[in-house]
Structure 1
Amino acid sequence: MDTYRIRGNVVETDETQRHAPLFVISVAAELADLHPQTLRQYDRMGLVTPRRQGGRHRRYSPYDVEQLRQIQQLSQEGVSLEGIRRIIELQNRVEELEAETDELRSQLRAAEQSLGGSRVFAVGPHGDVVTLARGQRPRASTREVVLWRSGR
């Protein structure tokens, strides 16, 4: 079972619980040091979108609470609500892209491991097959090169 701790107004969770809808609006408002009506307004504006339980009751995640705090800080620094919405939108997009990049990197590592140190071959200038080390390029005697990777 995943756990979370609240220390002061800081919510500590493991990564699997970061987006889990854990808090009712009154608890989220207290953690973010905001009034519950402010959270409702931010929800209507699309700044923070909590999940709904039973279609009606808002449930906020630790990530939502982090965003509420960030909204409050940016607002106090003079950023407009529309500017804050755009900042959050861009941050969410960056987070999605980082997750996608991590997934693609892990797929690439898995593919490389499944090939098990495969070698790269090229056709030499006289039609002969030349073995190359990974990262090595064939010497170009012409502009045509044919590459083939063994599929062990």
Structure 2
Amino acid sequence: MIHQYDEPVYLISIVAKILDIHPQTLRQYERENLVSPSRTNGRIRLYSQRDIDRIKLILRMTRELGVNLAGVDIILRLKENVDEMEQEISELRQEVTRAHSTRSVSPNKSLVTKKSIYEMIIFESK
């Protein structure tokens, strides 16, 4: 049976075994709000594949890079912000493409310039 990426299906003991860590480590990550597994009505933790991938990232940062849990929290929050901004940029690019294809903004009134990794869109008003 194939499960969805976000579907909570793994017990804490299974996740601990998969990642070769102690279940207390997983509980600590939850206390630190680094991961939020789902819970059954009986309060049993269930982890999704997304949770496992996030824990792998946390382990890589702590083990290989020597980052403490407070640093991991900051890095993960920044990563989420960057992901949100990238999504917003993608949506704005689609809007600009639609505007150009429907000619809702005349080409002589819009200017798109590339600066570093960000695109800047300037609309002239008359």
Shorter-normalised TM-score: what interval? 0.5 to 0.7
Task: Give the CA RMSD over aligned residues.
Answer: 3.0
Higher relative contact order (CA 8 A, sep 6+): 2
Match of 1:88? Answer: 76
SS at match of 1:89: helix
After TM superposition, give the deviation of residue 44 of structure 1 in Å.
0.7
**Identity across the alignment (%):** 37
Matches for 1:107-126 after TM superposition, within 5 Å: 107-110=95-98, 112-113=100-101, 115=102, 117=103, 120=106
Which structure has the larger Rg over C-alpha atoms?
A: 1
Q: 1:136 to 1:100 in 2, by over 3 A?
A: closer
After TM superposition, give the deviation of residue 40 of structure 1 in Å.
0.8
Q: Distance in 2 between matches of 1:95 and 1:135?
A: 32
Q: Please, what TM-score do these two structures have when normalized by structure 1?
A: 0.57
Number of aligned positions between the proteins: 112
Runs of 5+ unmatched residues, structure 1: 5-16, 121-133, 138-144, 148-152
Q: 1:109 to 1:52 in 2, by over 3 A?
A: farther
Match of 2:14? Answer: 27
Name the one with the larger helix percent.
2
Match of 1:66? Answer: 53
